[in-house]
Structure 1
């Protein structure tokens, strides 16, 4: 197993919050919903030298930005909104009719044209398609009929297939072509995370009890199993491709604060990164970056995983809610010092 360089880099500058659209000084890595400030914001600059921009739209109860796009689904006062124009400085909002209730989370198709609004606690999901030009809400689906608590939801790149995982006596993974009728495709003891491969040909399912990552070929339904020995609490998976077309997978482990990179074909660990924060997931963010820890409290930074120039984790400093100056790295509660241990990485290649 090759070790990885863990860069823990932040910058001390920040931008005060504003509800009005403004221009950005620098490249935009991506857009995100910032929970502590209840707003949609840009992350300006590259990982390692990035900061949150001013609020583009605030006063939100919940929001989620489509991957690699400049539009989002948001909720305010019970209304479901399509938010467009995040990159233009001319923010527009429009109600999406037919959405039954506010979800706990949203799973997007890779192209951003479809989204699944879902609730793990409520055991339901609802699909919104035709984004962003012609949004249409599908039927609200009660998934309790599958016989267990809902634990994960995923959609493929084109929004053609939906996968859900449930626990309990019916524990396993279920697949649907329409988001309404589901068929069992994997029996797992405790499935906690799902993700489709970039080409939609495979489904990755993480079993936290067996400490295994299953890779299901969706044409032949052959199954490959990757052992996750040494991880105490694996809870998130993200398949990627490197520049040579190698299939890789990131797996995050929560309580032991580790992130691993696996070669899917050889089932070998290529890199292991110790994390000095509790990860919240592995969400597609910028071109070569993933959001591995969202901000949950005002003084906390966000954390990004990137492959350039090697697998590394960077933090984006906390932002204020406009009532005080932005929090500098290492000074606020929950932020991390930039002088943390590092170890070298020899892995080459670019993750996309």
Structure 2
């Protein structure tokens, strides 16, 4: 694959191409690359296409303030823009100035997660079908994040041990979670169909899948092997935005989000549930079932148990389990 900044005219690479090169050198995801380049473009356009080398702390602070005041973006969005600009100055432009560490970070509000009870969970799942139902069931039954589920490879699912290996999760960490017994048979049937699709792709001259961290160069034939295929492949072939190769990627998260949104609406629920709500419900229901919080922490992949502790505040008892005096009258 040719680097985006590679050229034969002797001209220096464009700034955004330098950003992309640095991001790929650090093995950041394509989603991070897209987000960072978008924020950097917005920053440059906001100041009339002025080069970032000619700007500094006042401009960064002014841009972030504009996002918060005029754009009314969430604290997490503002912090993402901040990270993108600090990456630009530190990693790409090599600017080592004291003000970089003094650029303030927005304080994110501490909110309790939305949690569904078991009846609500069943109501949503009963209104999903096919692959959407299987993915939603896995999210609730394992506690995986949506992208962790969609990026699963065939070799990550161990039917005999009833385990799922989650590779390169949040924080670039691997972990193991359970495979619900109720999903073993549906998942086996699903993989049978996926294998037929893969063999059809091979016969058509395709069948290769994206491999991370230069594994494709180290193992030239691995991309076409069954064990490396996605458990939930997309319905159509697509062009890899980085390499230009035509491959079958995994299902897009937007498709699952739309399906869940429609199911929530059809179930006439008043809660703003999303696929990530299933992860919150998984953790809360395990704690309600009497499982140790350290076990739940490990299954969720939290680095600190204090992150898992938030689910103790949303257990299905109300008021932290305290009985109201009104109920004693």
Query: Is the TM value for this pair above 0.5?
Result: no
Report the structure, 1 or 2, having the larger strand content: 1
TM range, smaller chain:
under 0.3
Report the structure, 1 or 2, having the larger helix content: 2
Larger radius of gyration: 2
Provide the TM-score with structure 2 as the length reference. 0.25
